[in-house]
Copies of this chain bind each other. A is one copy, B any other.
Amino acid sequence: MILEIAAEVFSANAAASLADVAAAAGVGRTTLHNRFPTREALLLAVAHDALDRCATVIQDARLAEVGADAAPEEVRAALSRFIEAMIPLGPRIEFLLRQPELDLDKELAARTDQLDTPLEEFVSRAQRAGALRAGVPPWWAVSSLYALTYAAWEAITAGLLAPRDAAALVLDTALTGIGPTP
């Protein structure tokens, strides 16, 4: 619980003090120090929690069940599950994006890479199945998905997009783009 609030506070202000975090979480600053001895420990804990949630989302989307012979509808459904579940993680993704110092941590970097692997393999299989376009580098497909999902999250916080519509919009844009219907 503290970790989610900390993610939000640090997202809104990367230089927020621990007193700010404690106040936002409704606990004393001493308590915060008891659980996370240093500022860096707190930042790492928030980051690992965020990655934990991403891992869960990827698991729950059951991308691994989609084989190289899957029908396009299956791929679409799996992607939809993934996007739908990623969107609520917006504040945590925002935190990871806005704390570039964390990129220097080897363990976090390794975990991030680990998260991308199943996604890229999924894309690769979907391409062989003809459900995603061949020729697109899997890492780029994954990057695009993340980028569009994050853009949707931003639009939601800006009040431009209804949360219920977000996943469909991202999926549609990712799959068919914004070009003319041929």
Contacts and interface: CB of A to CB of B under 8 A. Distances in A.
Chain A's interface: helix, strand, loop or mixed, by majority? Answer: helix
Contacts of A146: 151
A175 interface: yes
Contacts of A12: 100
B144 A148 contact: yes
B169 A140 contact: yes
B175 A130 contact: no
> Oligomeric state, in number of copies?
2
Interface in A59-99: 72, 97-99
A33 interface: no
Interface residues on A, range: 35 or more
A15 interface: yes
A180 B143 contact: no
A97 B100 contact: no
Interface stretch (A24-32, A49-57, A131-139): A131-139
Given A15-B14, A100-B98, A147-B150, A178 B180 contact: no
A123 B160 CA distance: 17
A38 interface: no
Contacts of A11: 100
Given A147-B147, A175-B178, 20 more contacts: A14-B15, A14-B99, A14-B101, A15-B15, A15-B101, A97-B98, A132-B180, A133-B177, A139-B155, A140-B155, A140-B160, A140-B161, A140-B169, A143-B154, A146-B151, A147-B148, A147-B151, A175-B177, A175-B179, A182-B182
